[in-house]
Amino acid sequence: MTITHAEENYLKAIFTIAEKEAGPALTNAIAAQMQTSAASVTDMLKRLSDKQLITYEKYRGVQLTEEGGRLATALIRKHRLWEVFLVDKLGFAWDEVHELAEQLEHVQGNDLVSRLDSFLGYPKFDPHGDPIPDAEGRWTFRKQAPLATLKAGERGIVTGVDDHSTTFLQYLDQLGLILGAELELLERFPYDQSVRVRIRDGRELILSDKVTQNLFVKIS
Ligand SMILES: [Zn+2]
């Protein structure tokens, strides 16, 4: 069975949505993610269902079959390993690698992914802090929460982002809030839920509610 790049991208989108919603992916959500019309999504769902990669009930949404889930996981694994390669080995910034990895994830080759994985030292997280499934499709999860949930006086370490947009990643770079950065929440302003934090070099920053909702930290 050959699977096109477009089909692979749909499987990945369905996987991501189902994970976020903790349930079946609805057609509208898939259309929004793929930036296409509901009609073209319906066409594609028919093809994926013919290939037994998804089960699809009208109005109830889409679920990946075991094989569909396996393919989606493999694709996410490739994507994130390529992102690690681009950042760690080629020196790209964390906001520059997603589009490149979108292309590289479709490259097929015997052993390519396992060699890449071993070359990189079997990383468990990508440059944005997202987990990389291993060759058996097992995920490593860690305890993290949005910075917005921290209380005054608590300390945290930046572990990931919910918003992967270039503008957000570049903004975090400017602030010095990269993965692994340590911070302490000093106070929260009731007016707009913005917060004042101190980062490791002693600098204090005011962060908007939007930033604290989209930045994951591990409470230390
Ligand atoms: Zn990416």
pLDDT digits (tens, 9 = 90+) for 17-43: 998 888 899 999 999 999 999 899 999
Q: Ligand 1 center to residue 154 CA distance, Å?
A: 30
Residue 69, domain member (yes or no): no
Residue 72: closest CA among 110, 119, 105: 105
pLDDT score recorded for residue 20:
87
Residue 205, domain member (yes or no): yes
Residue 128, domain member (yes or no): yes
Q: Which residues surround ligand 1, an ion (CB under 5 A)?
A: 98, 101
Q: How far is CA 33 from CA 11, 29, 38, 172, in A?
A: 12, 6, 11, 24
Q: Ligand 1 center to residue 121 CA distance, Å?
A: 19
Q: What is the DSSP letter of 13?
A: H
Q: How many CB atoms lie within 10 A of CB 144?
A: 18
- Domain range for 173 is 145-219
Q: Ligand 1 center to residue 196 CA distance, Å?
A: 30
Both 30 and 56 in one domain: the answer is yes
2 falls in which pLDDT band (50, 70, 90)?
Answer: confident
- Which are the contacts of 173, defined by CB distance < 8 A and separation ≥ 6? 93, 94, 95
Q: Ligand 1 center to residue 152 CA distance, Å?
A: 32
Looking up residue 132, the CATH number of its domain turns out to be 1.10.10.10
One-letter amino acid of 199 = I
Both 149 and 131 in one domain: the answer is no
pLDDT, tens digit, 9 for 90 and up, residues 100-131: 999 999 999 889 999 999 999 999 999 999 99
- Which are the contacts of 193, defined by CB distance < 8 A and separation ≥ 6? 148, 209, 212
- How far is the C-alpha of 167 from the C-alpha of 82, rounded, in Å? 21
Contact criterion met (CB below 8 Å) for 179 and 127: yes
Mean pLDDT in residue range 159-178 = 96
Q: Ligand 1 center to residue 166 CA distance, Å?
A: 11
Could you give the number of structural domains in the chain?
A: 3
Q: Ligand 1 center to residue 98 CA distance, Å?
A: 4
Instruction: Look at residue 58 and tell me whether its pLDDT is greater than 80.
Output: no
Both 214 and 178 in one domain: the answer is yes
Instruction: Look at residue 141 and tell me whether its pLDDT is greater than 90.
Output: no
Q: Ligand 1 center to residue 187 CA distance, Å?
A: 33
